[in-house]
Amino acid sequence: MPIFDLIRGKIFNGKFPMVALDLAETSLELIQLAPKPGKPKIAFAYRQELKPGLIKNCQIIDSAGLAGILKEIWQANKLKNKNCLLSLPDKIVYFANLKIADKTGDLQAAIMAKAGEILPLDLSDYFFDYRLVETGKNSQEFFFIAAEKKIIRQYFDLCQAAGLNLAVLDFESACLARSLLKDNKEPCFVLDLGGYSTDLFLVDCQGFRYQVNFAVGGSVLDKKIAETLQINLKQAEKIKKQKGAAAIEDSVLFSIFEPVFLEIQKIAADYENKNKQPVKKIILAGGTSLLKGLLKKLRQKFLSWQIELGDPAQKVDLAGKLKSKDIILYSNAIGLALRGLDKDSLAQGINLLKDINK
């Protein structure tokens, strides 16, 4: 073995597997995997509720307080690897699929110009990255993603303050696709039903095709139950946990998510028209997807569709670290951890940190 390869191997052996850190306004999750034959196993899993005020609207409000929490977690759990990965929520990220002519000289300049035409952004205020999706007869299609520099720097500075090395800043949809989809041979929607928002994206064998965010989630159900029964939100949350989707009339439930349903039909029709292939599968993710009875009601709504609850256990061995009923809550962190498993997986996908030091 050449001496350079030996040295490089030793360096990377200390860097991997990285720790995946999933930060939200109300909680954080950590996952670290360990490689093994077949599929990697969970070596470390951790979840902690966060007090209000640390993160708001996806922006870090109390960086010092949050850095202190992260330091304490690393110390208390004796985590030796301080290399980590994070992802940004889709609702603060801009996406576009760009078609660029083959004869383009400066590819990045052409991509930036095209993105500027489609997205209402001053790209000088944004970090961005892109990946080739498809090569056509006279053009190439790229998946483009951008997020505000000030927000990205918040997450980067947070990790530095906590004594961590942030290696990759991904986006949630990519992490979910990595943890929930077995393969991308057939087009498939992932519907991420959160507490305050819902993300919908379509993936096929070429990669990401569509991505949409909706300002609707489980909290809207709480409000509707409270209004209907004339009770307070805490009582409504309790009833929702007890009765699940049965706590609200089907007509009301479906009206809440009607914009999502319409977008699914619209995107599916557009995709089939362009690619001559139907989309008939939806994978559910997010905490609201666990609502009792919701899966059955969605299957009644989309009768000819295959609708399943996402299962990250198909990609990782739980190794007794997580309960099967809780694993969906770790889907994003598991997707991140899969990327941080080794240097080859780390190099795949979007990284919004690539220009952080420029």
CATH code at position 209: 3.30.420.380
10-residue stretch averages of pLDDT, the chain, 358 residues long: 39 79 95 95 96 94 98 98 97 94 85 95 96 89 96 98 98 96 90 94 92 93 93 95 93 94 97 95 95 96 95 94 89 97 94 91
Angle, CA of 257, 330 and 215, to the nearest 5°: 25
Q: Which domain holds residue 295?
A: 3-216+257-346
For residue 62, the model assigns a pLDDT of 98
90 is a domain residue? yes
Q: What is the pTM of this model?
A: 0.91
For residue 13, the model assigns a pLDDT of 53
174 is a domain residue? yes
The two structure tokens encoding residue 329: 């809550």
**Phi, psi at 55, each rounded to 5°:** -130, 135
124 is a domain residue? yes
Number of domains in the chain: 1
Q: What residues are paired with 273 via a beta bridge?
A: none
**Phi, psi at 178, each rounded to 5°:** -65, -35
Q: Evaluate whether 55 touches 24 at the Cβ level (below 8 Å).
A: yes
Q: Which of 76, 71, 23, 72 is nearest to 50 (CA)?
A: 23
82 is a domain residue? yes
176 is a domain residue? yes
For residue 246, the model assigns a pLDDT of 94
For residue 324, the model assigns a pLDDT of 85
128 is a domain residue? yes
Query: Cβ atoms within 10 A of the Cβ of 304, count?
Result: 6
246 is a domain residue? no
For residue 345, the model assigns a pLDDT of 95
Q: Dmax over Cα atoms in the chain, in whole Å?
A: 73
252 is a domain residue? no
For residue 2, the model assigns a pLDDT of 43
Q: Which of 191, 185, 183, 186 is nearest to 212 (CA)?
A: 191
- State how far the Cα of 244 lies from the Cα of 326, in Å rounded to an integer: 17
For residue 291, the model assigns a pLDDT of 95
